[in-house]
Structure 1
Amino acid sequence: MTERDLTRTQVFTPPAVASFAARLLLQGSADPIRLLDAGAGPGWLAEAVLDSAQERALSVDSATLIEIDHVLAEDARSLERRGANVIEANFIEWATSHNGEPFRVHLSSVVGEATRA
């Protein structure tokens, strides 16, 4: 954890934990996935879900990562090569203006939980 992380009280999901959580989250899922990560950070948790979906041959309709911090959003942009849409924005402001389809997998790095809709 860097000094910058400590001053912003940012704690990121370690890749091994993200991988474990993603496997549990997608266990038994057969639906096409629409992923929303509201506090994406560097994208590790979303990347783990995309990896797990690929391992299970699940289709991913969309992956939307929202991150307010410019530096972290730039890190998460590495997932754009896998079709993810990284949006640098305040999640609450973005969500109140979003009129799209509902998401089936919601990740919240902020509160450390993932849910299936």
Structure 2
Amino acid sequence: MATIGVTRGLGDHDLKVYSSNIYIKPFLSCVPEVQVYNFDDNKHGPDDVLVMGSDGLWDVTTDKEVADAVSAYLATVWQVSLTGFKIGSDRDLPHESLDLFLTNHAAKGYYDHH
């Protein structure tokens, strides 16, 4: 059902379930799922982070994989900052950015699952 993303984006109301005459439209909503997290209702420490991602990330990674990736990246950045290297300098970090790392990780998971 990988075509549903396209359906939601383009409004393909004539899309049918593969190998049938059942229209998907009655089962598909253009209303996004939204979850609200109130930061004031919860206690947070200096080691807490918020990772926001779409199904492109969460479909192919687990919470633990993302947490491990974030922890490894932050540990690397912390090490670099302690040694006096400027973050964002030309020195090679294991991951140029956490965004790039997670994107590559999600892409790898996608290809591993397809």
Q: Which has the higher strand share?
A: 1
Higher relative contact order (CA 8 A, sep 6+): 1
Q: TM-score, normalised by structure 1?
A: 0.23
